[in-house]
Chains A and B, each alone.
Chain A
């Protein structure tokens, strides 16, 4: 294989995102939120990368930068090995269509005043993937693909259940023939039995259409099930990244370890919970050094001053912890 074929489908290099910075001549003294701090991430074609972290860790911001809903403050975004800045207007548009987003709340992300046929078919018509006359046939195919009855396309979103609404959101994303889906807590709002149905749909679509996913979730069980590789974030930084089975079997970073330990499991009966102390610090004033050190049971002097680099500790397994360098 040559170098081009090896290049990941989508890559982020050194992405940072700060919110609330003074822009232009405006002299604001509003606090700056450091949502992302030097994040690098690559997703290969047909790969599913799971992104886990607790609220405020920047996982949704990262998803929005991947899908170009947000512009990073620093860093570069690559599509098939080419920096985004090199794209002309036309290929920018094509690339925008290739990356689609699926949102958490199936109630808030569908326009309540549109019928399903328009919600799903509008973008395809605008971008010339289907003519206005073919739209309904096109929508019918998509609805069938996501497991909805095409005869329901004249209905409004409120006439559907939560699980069905998730499927409409997925059909809408698929309408522009994407290659990459960013799923931001796409199953978090669903009941267990419905969540299983929608996860199965994601697994099937990936096989049928050769899609790549960035699957964002706080649920480690869901992430393990769907992902090839898992990336763990804490307060705007990636702390660990490894193939899914490896990460769950041999977590390296103390934060990952704690996360995996605290997930309630069916097998663990009447367990004694041993929680990690404290809460996630504010991203307005993140602690110096390793962001996790105030809560880390293994922290030592160096953790308080020096930021640990993300290093490879085993093939394909990266971790940002000073303990890996201790003699």
Chain B
């Protein structure tokens, strides 16, 4: 099956006065229709910038310096502004952590939804409104007629996120990028949103990239996982393989530091130290300072290897 989205050798760098920040440094993955990819990493790992790069939302002083992003076979990195506009919110859409970033606080929901729809399709206002009504009902909002005439502040956080999802899915995009959309929500509301996203992707056939720091959410949702550290994908593969048999010491460290996987009350297995500053990344494996298996061989950036079918790894001292 051909990939709906293929990213290869993506490098997004920020040229700041203090130096070049290699936020995304040689990232690649492919995604098929209707599949869910979990992009996991801690803050500063470059997972959100990867998402923004695919959306064409990287602002100065950042820019994509190398690599290719192909959506349904078409190359995105060389598009001009106008072509990006036609694509964003249409073939590819994004859901943010804070739904207030997506919603305009001074416009009613119907105005915003109709605008998003008519930006890409020639439909009458009445027809657009009908589509919006269906979209709201689809994401589980009761009495959509009434809700369409409300303002964003009249909704709870979970409801706002549902509306943001409805807008993202309005034009039936091929790829949806979700950047920590449930992090700010309560557990029971998070469960509801995860449930809706699963169903919506299954029904619409959209491919989903779920960006998160939470491996447990990825476990329940994703088909495959990419683990990012300091701008690189250190390990990727099918969700079961990565979570049950991680090969990279960082992945294993992350899994072991989850409280519920440790005996209660005992000290947690922890990764020493902290993530390196993206300003001063040394040559070689960025994780080596915190890694128990590191040796002088780690001073050279490890090449990508394929330890198994559809698995990648960047480590010279893999586990097992």
* Chain A residues within 8 Å of B192, by CB: 273, 275-276
| From A221, A245, A263, A279, contact of B156 by CB (8 A) | A279
- Residue contact A266 to B254, C-beta cutoff 8 Å: no
Q: Which of A244-295 contact B (CB under 8 A)?
A: 244-245, 258-259, 262-276, 279-280
Q: What is the total number of residues of chain B having a CB less than 8 Å from a CB of chain A?
A: 48
Interface centre among B253, B266, B270 (most CB of A within 10 A): B270
| From B194, B221, B254, contact of A192 by CB (8 A) | B254
- Residue contact A266 to B258, C-beta cutoff 8 Å: yes
Interface centre among B222, B265, B275 (most CB of A within 10 A): B265
* Chain A residues within 8 Å of B214, by CB: 192, 264
Knowing A192-B42, A193-B257, A193-B270 touch, does A276 contact B213 (C-beta < 8 A)?
no
- Residue contact B265 to A192, C-beta cutoff 8 Å: no
Knowing A200-B268, A276-B191 touch, does A225 contact B260 (C-beta < 8 A)?
yes
Knowing A193-B271, A262-B188, A273-B195 touch, does A222 contact B253 (C-beta < 8 A)?
no
- Residue contact A264 to B257, C-beta cutoff 8 Å: no
* Chain B residues within 8 Å of A262, by CB: 187-188, 190-191
Q: Is B217 an interface position by the 8 A CB rule?
A: yes
- Give the complex CA separation of A218 and B272 in angstroms: 25
Q: Is A150 an interface position by the 8 A CB rule?
A: no
Q: Is B178 an interface position by the 8 A CB rule?
A: no
- Residue contact A55 to B186, C-beta cutoff 8 Å: yes
Q: Is B305 an interface position by the 8 A CB rule?
A: no
Q: Is A80 an interface position by the 8 A CB rule?
A: no
* Chain A residues within 8 Å of B221, by CB: 270
A152 to chain B, nearest CB (A): 14
- Give the complex CA separation of A40 and B102 in angstroms: 42
Q: Which of A196-229 contact B (CB under 8 A)?
A: 196-197, 199-200, 203-204, 218-222, 224-228
Q: Which of B249-281 contact A (CB under 8 A)?
A: 253-255, 257-262, 264-272, 274-275
* Chain B residues within 8 Å of A193, by CB: 42, 253-254, 257, 270-271, 274
- Give the complex CA separation of A263 and B42 in angstroms: 20
Q: Is B169 an interface position by the 8 A CB rule?
A: no
- Residue contact B43 to A191, C-beta cutoff 8 Å: yes
- Give the complex CA separation of A276 and B191 in angstroms: 8
B316 to chain A, nearest CB (A): 21
Knowing A193-B253, A259-B187 touch, does A221 contact B219 (C-beta < 8 A)?
no
Size bracket of the A interface: 35 or more
A68 to chain B, nearest CB (A): 28
- Residue contact B216 to A258, C-beta cutoff 8 Å: no
* Chain A residues within 8 Å of B213, by CB: 191-192
Q: Which of B22-76 contact A (CB under 8 A)?
A: 42-43
- Give the complex CA separation of A200 and B42 in angstroms: 19
- Residue contact B198 to A273, C-beta cutoff 8 Å: yes
* Chain A residues within 8 Å of B228, by CB: none
- Give the complex CA separation of A226 and B260 in angstroms: 10
B189 to chain A, nearest CB (A): 7
Q: Is B243 an interface position by the 8 A CB rule?
A: yes
* Chain B residues within 8 Å of A141, by CB: none
- Give the complex CA separation of A195 and B261 in angstroms: 14
| From A195, A197, A228, A268, contact of B220 by CB (8 A) | A268
Q: Is B114 an interface position by the 8 A CB rule?
A: no
Q: Is A194 an interface position by the 8 A CB rule?
A: yes
Q: Is A76 an interface position by the 8 A CB rule?
A: no
Q: Mark B215-232, 1 if CB is under 8 A from A, else 0.
A: 111011111000000000
Q: A192-B258, A228-B265 are in contact. List 7 more A-B contacts (CB 8 A).
A: A193-B270, A225-B262, A227-B264, A259-B187, A273-B191, A274-B195, A279-B159
Report 18 cross-chain contacts, Cβ distance below 8 Å, ordered by A residue. A54-B186, A54-B189, A192-B42, A192-B214, A192-B258, A193-B274, A196-B257, A196-B271, A197-B270, A199-B259, A203-B267, A218-B186, A221-B258, A265-B260, A269-B219, A272-B198, A274-B191, A280-B186
Chain A residues packing against B (C-beta within 8 Å): 54-55, 161-163, 191-197, 199-200, 203-204, 218-222, 224-228, 244-245, 258-259, 262-276, 279-280
Chain B residues packing against A (C-beta within 8 Å): 42-43, 156, 158-159, 186-192, 194-195, 198, 213-217, 219-223, 239-240, 243, 253-255, 257-262, 264-272, 274-275
